[in-house]
Amino acid sequence: MPYTKIIGGEVFRHDGASLAEQQRSVAQKFTRNARLLQWVEEMVDLCRPDIVHWCDGSTLEYDFLSALMVETGTYIKLDEVKRPNSYFCRSDPADVARVEDRTFICSQRPEDAGPTNNWRNPAEMRHLLHNLFEGSMQGRTMYIIPYSMGPIGSPIAKIGIEITDSPYVVCNMHIMTRVGRNVLEVLGDDGDFCRGLHSVGVPLGKEQPDSAWPCNPASRHIVHFPETREIMSFGSGYGGNALLGKKCFALRIASAMARDEGWLAEHMLILKLTPPAGDPVRKDPIYVAGAFPSACGKTNLAMMTPALPGWKVETVGDDIAWMKFDPSDGRLHAINPEAGFFGVAPGTSMTSNPNAMATITADSIFTNVALTGDGDVWWEEMTPTPPPYLVDWLRRHWHPESGRKAAHANARFTTRASRCPVIAPEWEDPRGVPISAILFGGRRASVVPLVIESLSWQHGVFLGSIMASEKTAAAAGKVGVLRRDPMAMLPFCGYHMGDYFAHWLKMGQATTPDKLPRIFHVNWFRKDAQGKFLWPGYGDNARVLKWIYDRVQAGKADKAESMTPTAIGGLPAPGALDLSDLNIAPDAMGELMAINAQGWLNELPLIREHFAQFGSQLPQGLRDELVALEQRLRKAL
């Protein structure tokens, strides 16, 4: 397909000496921002692409690049009737997920990255990356993607520029962020932006054919320079390694910006919860933000269909929240900086998440799922019975008897948030939505009850700081292997987590206590002694949300009687949790709500160990909370 015919004049070919000149004249049609123009020129010199393409975010551009990828074998177009305007893509089997051990934070001082990040000396890393990127785009097109994280022009939004040599990245960024010329208009002549440089790391020789998924696993580096707001990613084309707006900018770089500027960049979903029409005491909707470790059903919760009649959940975001105190009302306002969902496909079904299923009926990209014989997609649990024949994500014939998974466990769909049938109408409100409650969700088979209300902001931050997933099912009284993931930010905090906790504590002073969101810890994953889940989860989680609604809506329900204070925090008072028509084992509620004082006491040494790694940067407020918890537990025994 002759490239220059498709896009109206903003694409040009390298023809020897005139490359720099051509690039300059095209670039100036897009922007007069001197910093941006200079950076792009430097990167063209460094990476030496054959073609430079300034992205305008148009449908024409998306369609052109999709068609290009069909031609090169990266994409297969799905059946136009079954899955309109959608594409199927298989990555290299060595490039299927975020690579945390190849992810680096390069602050000047190692103590600013902290013990939970891979720190590297920035000067040494720049030198290494310079060598890797040198000539890395030869034979390829360099795409310049101007994108906004958050509604364009929102006071909470930020601008990034990603330079990449992957058309797959461009198409995914079209869906996951807001790409286009209007971003450059907002950037203006002297606005600043987060620089992101990305290459799959496979330069092409003259006659060398490309592979369907070029990548360079041996040289993978996902590198962040939080002090200069820069990202450099080499060798991987997959997900969070390559779509730099998501984890790299919106969490790792943005968390450092948020610390410096006094706001919060969090790994949180945002949902709108509306009580039934005609409820005599419950009237207004509330907005809830929630942090859960990766693969704990955040997308499902954000799009949930409540099991309680009349209650409604609508989605503002499913993965990331940027939150700022709004001077006009003193409340914490949140935006979803993303424009799409990059959701885990396996497990998504009409039972677990019908709204996600409706979102992906068209206009979507499916990566590393399985392909059906009639040009559609399938993954484990999508339907109760698998199709009789598939091509699996590794391009092999697959039958239900094959005895192996057809889709990769981290297979993904990329789809626009605006396609979601339960997207909240205000999801793009530039002011954001006021948050009434923050959920920290662990994945705990034992000890931790279904829901705990924090005793104060500081106690809530403490509960977030000890969030954990339990790997193995607990036998009676025993705790499985715990992986602490404070605020679900362990892989995503761009600076020292001790300082991050201190920042959270400081944010509690940014407004009056009555304006602060109330913090809760939830745990949908308690198991019984036989290893079976005690709580049904999914739509029944609305029962917990309803209780939270009543707890935060002062005057709307009888607050004092809905909560019982305990050693570990506030629990629903007897009868306060709506269990109407709940199908659950007779003893389950007792277990889900039990205060296991001895179990918590047994865990204190583990919390101390977890806290010890943060050294002197662990804020005193969290030490105080630990001491206070121990005292309350001993008293309770």
CA distance to 193, 384, 520, 543, per residue, from 537 (Å): 41, 19, 17, 10
| Cα 454-464-263 angle, rounded to 5 deg | 100
CB of residue 150 vs ligand OXD: minimum separation in angstroms?
Answer: 17
Nearer to ligand OXD, 319 or 363 (CB): 319
- Cα gap 55→50, rounded to integer Å: 16
Residues contributing to the site for ligand OXD (CB under 6 A): 240, 294, 319
Contact present, 336 and 427 (Cβ < 8 Å) = yes
Residue 171 is among the residues annotated as catalytic for this protein: no
Q: Which of Mn ion, ligand OXD, none does 138 bind, CB closer than 5 to 8 A by kind?
A: none
The residue with its CB nearest to Mn ion is: 319
Cβ distance to Mn ion smaller for residue 290 or 569:
290
| 240 vs 346 by CB, closer to ligand OXD | 240
Q: What is the DSSP string of 562-601?
A: GEEEETTEEEEPTTTS--TT----TTHHHHHH---HHHHH
Q: How far is the CB of 246 from Mn ion (least distance, A)?
A: 8
Residue with tokens 């204190």: 604
Find which of ligand OXD, Mn ion, none residue 203 binds, CB within 5 to 8 Å per kind: none
At its nearest, how many Å lie between ligand OXD and the CB of residue 448?
A: 21
Strands 194-199 and 158-164 turn out to be parallel
Cα 74 → chain centroid = 25
The DSSP code for 425 is T
Closest-CA residue to 404 (of 424, 426, 380): 380
CB of 23 to ligand OXD, least distance (A): 34
Q: Give me the 303-322 binding string for Mn ion, x by CB under 5 A, dash otherwise.
A: ----------------x---
The two structure tokens encoding residue 190: 């002297």
Rounded CA separation 166/198 (Å): 8
DSSP assignment of 495-542 equals S-HHHHHHHHHHHTTSS-GGGSPEEEEE-S--B-TTS-BSS--GGGHH
User: Closest distance between ligand OXD and the C-beta of residue 319, in Å?
Assistant: 5
Of residues 178 through 217, those in contact with Mn ion by CB under 5 A are: none
Rounded to a whole number of angstroms, the minimum distance from the CB of residue 222 to ligand OXD is 13
Smallest distance, Mn ion to C-beta of residue 267, A: 6
In one-letter notation, the amino acid at residue 95 is D
Nearer to Mn ion, 214 or 491 (CB): 491
Closer to Mn ion by Cβ: residue 341 or 366: 341
Strand order in the sheet with 340-344: 75-77, 87-89, 365-367, 412-416, 340-344
Pick the closer one to Mn ion by CB: 319 or 603.
319
Which residue has the closest beta carbon to ligand OXD?
A: 294
Q: Which of 55, 171, 296, 493 is catalytic?
A: 296
CA dist., res. 471 & res. 445, Å (int): 8
Tokens 């790391």 correspond to what residue? 201
Query: What distance lies between CA 394 and its chain's CA centroid?
Result: 26
Specify the residue, 240 or 432, whose C-beta has the smaller distance to ligand OXD: 240
- Binding marks (x or -) toward Mn ion, 90..129, rule CB under 5 A? ----------------------------------------
Decide which of ligand OXD, Mn ion, none touches 376; Cβ closer than 5 to 8 Å per partner kind.
none
x/- binding map, residues 317-346, to Mn ion, per CB under 5 A? Answer: --x---------------------------
Element (H, E) at 333: strand 332-335
Q: Give the separation between CA 1 and CA 296, rounded to whole angstroms.
A: 43
> Which residues contact Mn ion (rule: CB under 5 A)?
319
> What are the catalytic residues?
296
